[in-house]
A = this chain, B = another copy of it.
């Protein structure tokens, strides 16, 4: 009996020790939030809001983009299960329907990412003054682009994403005002004027919509 108790305690303690090192995690399946993005060369910056549904693989985001001293608004709905992407123009009440050329990437730390460290943004000296986050690095499988990810320890929520693209150098995306759940699920349904959709025959992906 004592031996069993010892073994059970040993497993418990070992499990506790192993659990000390953060492990790659996956964000909650339904999220809404805001983001800002800026490229290293300063040629592109954006500020927007998004809704994210990893269960039905749908993303909707609207952003104000400043690119080469021009400012414009982009509204995009991506439905990965149907392999379609809608570029919605509310002013003209038109849609551009494109084929989604890439797979859905859930918001997560890839399993092969390297753990860089755990830090507190702000301080744990008093309640409400700090946020525990983990930083990870790695390379994307497809483009061999280097990335740095910072996600919260509790909740696995994105705080900042840096990735390197040959065209623009480093792209820094900051995430904030995240809410679990989707306030209005109809954001994932194309607006009525998208029935008379303009099919362009073009292929698009997350980056072609984003940049």
Residues of chain A having any CB pair with chain B under 8 Å: 33-34, 40, 42, 119-123, 125-133, 152-155, 157, 159, 170, 176-181
Given contacts A132-B128, A154-B128, contact A123 B180 (CB under 8 A): yes
Contact (Cβ within 8 A) A154 B126: yes
Contact (Cβ within 8 A) B129 A152: yes
Partner of A123, one of B126, B128, B153, B178: B178
Question: Which residues of chain B have C-beta atoms less than 8 A from A33's C-beta?
Answer: 123
Tell me whether chain A's interface is mostly helix, strand or loop, or mixed. strand
Q: A120-B177, A122-B157, A130-B178 are in contact. List 13 more A-B contacts (CB 8 A).
A: A40-B40, A121-B159, A122-B131, A122-B155, A122-B159, A122-B178, A123-B152, A123-B155, A125-B178, A125-B181, A126-B155, A129-B157, A131-B131
The distance from the CB of A81 to the nearest CB of chain B, in whole angstroms, is 26
Question: Which residues of chain B have C-beta atoms less than 8 A from A176's C-beta?
Answer: 119-122
Contact (Cβ within 8 A) B40 A179: no
Question: Which residues of chain B have C-beta atoms less than 8 A from A154's C-beta?
Answer: 126-129
With A and B bound together, what is the CA distance between A33 and B123 in angstroms? 9
